[in-house]
Amino acid sequence: MKYLIKRFLALILAGLILPTGLLASGDPDRDAPLDALGPVPVQLDNKQTADKIALGKMLFFDPRLGGDASVACSDCHSPKEGWSFAAPISRGYPATIHWRSSQTVINSAYYSKLFWAGSSKSLEAQAPSAAKGGVAGNGENDVMEARLAFIPEYRKLFRDVFGDEWPLIGNAWKAIAAFERTLVQRDTPFDKYMLGDGAALGEAQKRGLALFEGKANCVECHNSALFSDQKFYNLGVPRHDGWIDDGLKQITFRFELYAKGVTEKDYRSLKDDPGLYFRTKQQRDKGKFRTPSLRYLVYTAPYMHNGAFFDLEEVIDFYNEGGGTNDFAANKTKILKPLGLTDDEKEDLLAFLESLSGEEILMDAPRLPKYQPLAKD
């Protein structure tokens, strides 16, 4: 036992295991050079097995893990929409709408900070936050567990995978997380290039890579193999068209302001999403959001936390102009400056960004098991 404890502490000190139990490839907050994406980090208390992954896939597509059994994980993270949602603001629970853009779950296994404000630290924690969120899944633990218990096939699968006499909702999140850890893309042209295939990138893409690391300075925040430093910045992202005029969006926004405990003044006056401020309540964090990965991005439009831009050309123009302006201008990062990119340079940069995506990952929804009344004793 003493040996195991010493070994565990040694791995933590070496940076190979995070205290949360995540096997890490390095400090996600430390600036790191661009690289090919490595193996998926392993969650020590949620080992991957084929049966658990198969169960998690079923649950990911099953709307019964929610409030009224109409919204599944796959409804906001659709394979045909980049495993995200192809609208500026994600869909919400029936009769509501969300207030942020839905992020792709491809390569989400590599994040240590999930959601736009980093409110979850693992996929196991992210799943219930979405399934139970007031304008997302709106589910209740006891109701969702009861539904699973009325499905004989699920009872057998949970028993085989977890040893549960009855399905436990906490294990449902573990199964979904296990499935999501299989949604990984490591064979992009960029990955092949970094692994020694000099012909994997064309000449324009190589020039774009030089711009990415040089004149455009994208690498300042989009670094490491994940292409994200997982830090928080205010870029001055503008509101998307219709944000202020859409009554349902504004109702959701006020609900979130109230639920997350902002001051009455902010509740009545804020027009832009305060982002990280929801978590820290520090004025300096208003308008800040976690750097997203640039991988798989050709399939995940629109872009930014509010879906303000519909294509990558708009995103490049935004950065070339030094970012934008929102209600939290005092917090705008000083990193952003006009870049002075020429049209040819913008085309090269776009070509490089496209090299960060491989073939589209598509998947049919699995057959879902049916309810069956419990047998009487």
pLDDT in tens, 250-270: 999 999 999 999 999 999 999
Contact yes or no for 64/172 (Cβ under 8 A) = no
Is 247 found in the same domain as 119? no
User: What angle (nearest 5°) sits at the alpha carbon of residue 314, between those of residues 313 and 320?
Assistant: 90
Whether pLDDT at 39 is above 90: yes
> Once rounded to an integer, what is the mean pLDDT over residues 149-177?
97
| Per-residue pLDDT at 12 | 40
Is 176 found in the same domain as 145? yes
Q: Which of 5-14, 23-32, 342-351 has the highest mean pLDDT?
A: 342-351
Whether pLDDT at 1 is above 60: no
Is 201 found in the same domain as 176? no
| Per-residue pLDDT at 71 | 95
> Once rounded to an integer, what is the mean pLDDT over residues 342-353?
98
| Per-residue pLDDT at 241 | 87
Helix, strand or coil, per DSSP, at residue 78: strand
| Per-residue pLDDT at 377 | 59
User: For the chain, what is the mean pLDDT?
Assistant: 92
> Once rounded to an integer, what is the mean pLDDT over residues 9-29?
37
42 falls in which pLDDT band (50, 70, 90)? confident
Calculate the alpha carbon distances from 41 to 23, 106, 107, 158 in Å: 5, 14, 11, 24
Q: Is the pTM of this model over 0.75?
A: yes
Is 335 found in the same domain as 232? yes
Distance of CA 72 to the CA centre of its chain: 16
92 falls in which pLDDT band (50, 70, 90)? very high
Of the three residues 180, 203, 225, the one that is the final residue of a domain is 180
Give dist(CA 83, CA 77) in Å, integer.
4
Domain of 77, in residue numbers:
50-180
Domain for residue 96, yes or no? yes
Is 150 found in the same domain as 101? yes
Give dist(CA 366, CA 368) in Å, integer.
6
Whether pLDDT at 18 is above 70: no
Is 214 found in the same domain as 143? no
Q: How many domains does the chain have?
A: 2
Residue that wins the pLDDT comparison between 374 and 42: 42
Burial of residue 268, with CB atoms counted within 10 A of its CB: 0-12 exposed, 13-18 middle, 19 or more buried: exposed
19 falls in which pLDDT band (50, 70, 90)? very low
Tens-place pLDDT, residues 263-305: 999 999 999 999 999 999 999 999 999 999 999 999 999 999 9
Whether pLDDT at 156 is above 60: yes
> Once rounded to an integer, what is the mean pLDDT over residues 10-15?
38
| Per-residue pLDDT at 52 | 98
| Per-residue pLDDT at 375 | 72
Query: E strands within 178-243?
Result: 232-233
| Per-residue pLDDT at 373 | 77
Domain for residue 226, yes or no? yes
| Per-residue pLDDT at 25 | 33
Report the range of poorest mean pLDDT among 27-36, 73-82, 306-315.
27-36
Is 176 found in the same domain as 266? no
Is 97 found in the same domain as 204? no
14 falls in which pLDDT band (50, 70, 90)? very low
> Once rounded to an integer, what is the mean pLDDT over residues 91-102?
94
Domain for residue 7, yes or no? no
Residue that wins the pLDDT comparison between 98 and 8: 98
> Once rounded to an integer, what is the mean pLDDT over residues 38-62?
96
b/e code 111-147 from CB counts within 10 Å (16+ = b) = bbbbbbbbbbebbbebbbebbbbebbbbbeeeebbeb
Of the three residues 125, 156, 180, the one that is the final residue of a domain is 180
> Once rounded to an integer, what is the mean pLDDT over residues 32-43?
94
Contact yes or no for 93/72 (Cβ under 8 A) = no
Main-chain phi, psi angles of 265, to 5 degrees: -60, -45
Tens-place pLDDT, residues 189-205: 999 999 999 999 999 99
Calculate the alpha carbon distances from 261 to 74, 322, 327 in Å: 30, 32, 19
Is 66 found in the same domain as 170? yes
DSSP secondary structure letters along 14-72: TTSB-TTSBB-SS-TTS--------PPPPBTTS---HHHHHHHHHHHT-TTSSSSS---
Domain for residue 277, yes or no? yes
Domain for residue 23, yes or no? no
Is 254 found in the same domain as 325? yes
Is 257 found in the same domain as 231? yes
Domain for residue 82, yes or no? yes
Of the three residues 180, 214, 232, the one that is the final residue of a domain is 180
Domain for residue 13, yes or no? no
Domain for residue 376, yes or no? no
Is 194 found in the same domain as 175? no
> Once rounded to an integer, what is the mean pLDDT over residues 147-175?
97
Report the range of poorest mean pLDDT among 9-18, 49-58, 103-112, 321-330.
9-18
Looking at the chain, the whole-number percentage of residues with pLDDT higher than 90 is 88
Task: Give me the CATH number covering residue 256.
Answer: 1.10.760.10
